[in-house]
Amino acid sequence: MARNREKKGSLNFQLKKLLDSKLAIGESKFEDKKQNLTFDKIYSWSTYRAYLQHGTYFLTWAKEKYGCNDLAAAKEYVNEWLQVREEQGLSAYTVKLEASAMMKIYNIDKDSIYKSKARLRANIERSRGEKVRDKHFSEKNNQELVRFCRATGLRRAELLQIRGTDLIFINDNPYLKVTRNTKGGRERVVPIILDSQFVVNLLKTKGAEKVFEKIPNSADIHGYRAEFATTLYKKLEKDINTLPKEKKYYCRKDLKGIVYDKDAMLEVSRALGHNRIDVIAGHYIRKD
């Protein structure tokens, strides 16, 4: 038995080898979705690292509790572990992430994985109110970064790769072409219509150089993305009372009663690098 374990390697080695085999960096997740080919692929390094991290948590638990030394042998304990994690008080967001990791690692379908409690907007703590980390970040000393984030809504990884030459013009209107470190490898163009003069001038000044060499860990990038989404939506939305029913998005659960302009939501969603309006309704646009 010992010799067999040596051939397979440690649990962490087995996990990394499996996830490595699923890497599809540079491939189009958007195109693969059309052919239903995404189930066994990982399209970004951030997703790979997250799945490796949470997969390691699970395997450590499975080894300590059940003596598992084989990746496949631990599979039967996945749902028990997810339930334990929820009972430990982890956020629904984190449990959902860990469930996604388990589904990818073990090719478990969504009907067989443990179902965590509903991810209500009111329960999401990320980027809401003042956090401890906010006290270690000065918006005054990072004005360029903050203004750029609020005007473009880029993710942290994308910000680190943006260059001045990513500024493009379509029909004389400025856009930011986002092609590197995007989620799922999907490129997009972001309309520069918020704080446009500042953004265009900054990009032109940088030329072929990176706009930002470093992003402070304490900067609330997701929060700025939400501000961008909200501001852009308000700029694009039409009078709800004049829209036909099919052009309206009716929120549910704890957002019930709120109605959005579907066309404006879709434009905001695409600018953020998503393609589902329900995502931005629940996690980005703020009516208050």
174-193 pLDDT, tens digit each: 999 999 988 777 899 999 99
7 vs 247: which has the higher pLDDT: 247
What are the start and end residues of each CATH 1.10.150 domain in the chain? 2-119
115 compared with 7, residue with greater pLDDT: 115
User: Could you tell me what percent of the chain has a pLDDT over 70?
Assistant: 90
- Indicate if the pLDDT at residue 145 is higher than 90: yes
- Which of 38-47, 87-96, 149-158 is modeled with the greatest confidence? 149-158
**Residue pair 158/186 in contact by the 8 Å Cβ criterion:** no
Percent of the chain with pLDDT over 90: 58
Task: Check residues 25 and 132 and name the one with the higher pLDDT.
Answer: 25
Evaluate the CA torsion angle 27, 30, 31, 32 in order and state its sign: positive
Instruction: Annotate 90-99 with b (16+ C-beta within 10 A) or e (fewer).
Output: bbeeebbbbb
Band (pLDDT 50/70/90 cuts) for residue 96 is confident
Cα angle 165, 168, 170 (rounded to 5 degrees) comes to 170
Long-range contacts of 201-207 (CB under 8 A, 24+ apart): 202/144, 202/148, 202/164, 203/164, 203/166, 203/167, 203/176, 204/164, 204/167, 205/164, 206/163, 206/164, 207/163, 207/164, 207/165
Model pLDDT, residue 135: 55
The pLDDT confidence band at residue 132, using thresholds 50, 70 and 90, is very low
Average pLDDT, the chain: 86
Residue 29 has pLDDT above 90, yes or no: no
| Residue pLDDT, tens place only, 241-264 | 999 999 999 988 777 788 999 999
Cα 184 from Cα 189, distance rounded (Å): 15
Mean pLDDT of 55-60: 94
Residue 287's pLDDT band (boundaries 50, 70, 90)? low
Which two tokens mark 191?
């309309």
For residue 136, name the pLDDT band (cuts at 50, 70, 90).
low
Please determine, for residue 121, whether its predicted confidence score (pLDDT) is greater than 60: no
207 pLDDT exceeds 80?
A: yes
CATH class of 2-119: mainly alpha
Average pLDDT for 127-136:
51
211-236 pLDDT per residue, tens:
999 999 888 888 898 899 999 999 99
- Answer whether 0.75 is exceeded by the pTM: no
